């Protein structure tokens, strides 16, 4: 018999001392089964933590592809500063820990039968289900835009082939050419992402194509870390990036992939490269399962991430509206860790503990110039996950080049630490 580890011994003694062994219905009939759909930030974090917190739970991670390419640092790939391979990870370490990896597409959820239905006809049974499937593009929201057009005007808002396409288009931009970046209204994945992208594109172009222009057409009037970004643009890329807020464009009326134009209420813009980032929602199979109520994002209990609409199903990350937390990879991973503890408690009929959640979002204005925003969140009396007053904040507006360089280094450390924790 394999000797028990200290952790297993502690887990067992906690269980016995708390007297919960008798009161754990799922465990009484065998090992509890948790299925997690989505092998990105939220899903991988939940799977790994749950496996460690309660090794007696059967954890199955369903992932569309055998590898995951992160959106964080994909803007560096577009700028030619990193390879796509360096931001792509497999699930071998998770499998080694005893997490069952199922590569395939989940197409439907049957909450009554407690089954996840897969594209290949298989069905996965669960006692509790966790969904962290990210986002889906709403191709039909802007006249002229379509799924087919993403091959001409890539969004690159899911990392992988789209990232490479946009990278190659940027590298082939004619001298003095124009890049258009269309940004949707909130809520969308990674609020500062489009502005980091503009920054890193400018970094690349300032070396190879210094008369090129980048025009950002925004569906809103302000954005995350705006004063810090604008300060960086003026210092590093004067005159290269133009920001056109909603007030000055009136909204996008039409997109034309043949002409490479975006027509707004006030003007038609023509680009040699068009990075069209469409509006987004929770994926359709999640909506079809009744998890988004009347809206397009999942509503959850903000302490347990259990769906407000479908009991037994927990939703994390970008697919859910989780109080004040932004749709970021770090948020999703932190939520995944908390959700694992919640599940471990619920599966043993214990009341889950409440704690604080954190998010830090670094953005690179150039590879050597970083800025950040941090937040601390706690579930308030009214059940909403709210920013803790006086906590968090952004990088100072007044800072030395050394400080900005240090923040860029912190961004790299953050990425290495998080991806190692999830996939390493
Ligand atoms: C350009 C860009 C830069 C970004 N930079 C940062 C950053 O610096 N820091 C940061 O914290 N965040 C950043 N983000 C945001 C971050 O990528 C997302 O917030 C994060 O990925 C959300 O995690 P998630 O678990 O909700 O979804 P994801 O990480 O997207 O994971 C979802 C997974 O579910 C899988 N999936 C979906 N549907 C199915 C299905 N039906 N069956 C099986 N599998 C399925 C997907 O293939 C994917 O593997 C950035 C985003 C972009 C676009």
The band of 29, judged by pLDDT with boundaries at 50, 70 and 90, is low
Domain ranges within the chain, ordered by starting residue: 6-134+283-353, 139-280
CA 242 to chain centre: 27
To test ligand 1's pocket by mutation, which of 88, 329, 411 has the most ligand atoms within 8 angstroms of CB?
Answer: 329
Distance, CA 319 to ligand 1 centroid (Å)?
Answer: 9
pLDDT 10s digits, 203-251: 999 999 999 999 999 999 999 999 999 999 999 999 999 999 999 999 9
Binning the chain into helix, strand and coil, the percentages to the nearest 5 are: 35, 25, 40
64 close to ligand 1 (CB < 6 Angstrom): yes
Average pLDDT over residues 28-53: 93
Q: Which atom of ligand 1 is nearest to the CA of 359?
A: 11
Top CATH class, 139-280:
alpha beta
Ligand 1 center–CA 228 separation, angstroms: 25
Residue 69 β-bridge partners: 88
Q: Do residues 87 and 329 lie in contact, with contact meaning Cβ atoms separated by under 8 Å?
A: no
pLDDT average, residue stretch 401-408: 98
Q: Is 278 in the pocket of ligand 1 (CB under 6 A)?
A: no
Give the closest residue to 132 by CA, choosing from 324, 276, 293, 338: 338
Question: Which residue in the block uniquely carries the two structure tokens 């069905």?
Answer: 123
| Residue with CA at minimum distance from ligand 1 atom 27 | 134
| Ligand 1 contacts CB of residue 328 (under 6 A) | yes
| Residue nearest to ligand 1 atom 5, measured at CA | 72
Confirm whether 6-134+283-353 and 139-280 share one CATH topology: yes
CA distance 126 to 71: 29
Q: How many helices (H) and strands (E) does the chain have?
A: 12, 25
| Tens of pLDDT, residues 351-399 | 998 889 999 999 999 999 999 999 999 999 999 999 999 999 999 999 9
Q: Is the CATH number of domain 6-134+283-353 3.50.50.60?
A: yes
Distance separating alpha carbons of residues 361 and 394, to the nearest angstrom: 9
Candidate from 71, 81, 89, 340 with most ligand 1 atoms within 8 A of CB, to mutate: 71
- The CB of 133 under 6 Å from ligand 1? The reply is yes
Local structure of 77: helix, strand or coil: helix
How far apart CA 62 and CA 117 sit, in angstroms, is 11
Q: Pick from 65, 67, 134 the residue to mutate for probing ligand 1's pocket: most ligand atoms within 8 Å of its CB.
A: 134
| pLDDT above 90 as % of the chain | 92
How far is it, in rounded angstroms, from Cα 288 to Cα 107?
10
Distances (CA, A) of 283 to 101, 107, 163, 293: 21, 10, 20, 13
């Amino acid at each position: 018999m394999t000797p028990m580890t200290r952790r297993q011994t502690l887990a067992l003694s906690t269980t016995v001392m708390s007297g919960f062994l008798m009161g754990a219905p799922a465990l009484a009939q065998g090992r509890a089964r948790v299925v997690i759909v989505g092998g990105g930030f939220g899903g991988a974090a939940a799977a790994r933590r749950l496996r460690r917190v309660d090794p007696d739970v059967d954890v199955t991670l369903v992932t569309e592809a055998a590898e995951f390419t992160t959106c964080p640092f994909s803007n560096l790939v577009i700028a030619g500063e990193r390879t796509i391979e360096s931001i792509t990870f497999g699930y071998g370490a998770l499998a080694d820990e005893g997490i069952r990896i199922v590569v395939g597409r989940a197409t439907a959820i049957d909450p009554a039968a407690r089954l996840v239905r897969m594209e290949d006809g298989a069905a996965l049974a669960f006692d509790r289900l966790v969904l962290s499937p990210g986002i889906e593009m709403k191709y039909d929201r802007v006249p002229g835009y379509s799924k087919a057009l993403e091959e001409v005007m890539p969004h690159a808002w899911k990392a992988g082939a789209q990232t490479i396409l946009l990278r190659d288009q940027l590298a082939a931009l004619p001298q003095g050419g124009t890049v258009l970046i269309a940004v949707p209204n909130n809520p969308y994945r990674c609020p500062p992402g489009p502005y980091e992208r503009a920054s890193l594109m400018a970094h690349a172009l300032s070396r190879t194509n210094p008369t090129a222009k980048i025009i950002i057409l925004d569906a809103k009037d302000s954005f995350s870390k705006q004063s810090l970004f604008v300060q960086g643009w003026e210092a590093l890329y004067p005159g290269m990036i133009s920001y056109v807020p909603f007030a000055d464009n009136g909204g996008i009326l039409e997109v034309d992939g043949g002409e490479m134009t975006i027509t707004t209420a006030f003007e038609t813009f023509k680009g040699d490269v068009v990075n069209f980032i469409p509006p987004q929602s929770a994926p359709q199979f999640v909506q079809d399962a009744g998890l988004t109520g009347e809206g397009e994002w999942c509503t959850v209990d903000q302490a347990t991430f259990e769906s407000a609409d479908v009991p037994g199903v927990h939703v994390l990350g970008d697919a859910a509206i989780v109080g004040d937390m932004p749709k970021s990879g770090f948020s999703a991973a932190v939520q995944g860790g908390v959700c694992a503890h919640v599940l471990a408690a619920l599966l043993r009929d214990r009341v889950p503990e409440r704690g604080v959640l954190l998010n830090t979002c670094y953005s690179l204005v150039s590879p050597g110039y970083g800025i950040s925003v941090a937040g601390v969140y706690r579930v308030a009396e009214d059940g909403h996950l709210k920013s803790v007053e006086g906590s968090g904040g952004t990088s100072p507006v007044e800072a030395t080049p050394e400080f900005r360089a240090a923040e860029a280094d912190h961004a790299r450390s953050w990425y290495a630490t998080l991806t190692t924790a999830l996939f390493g």
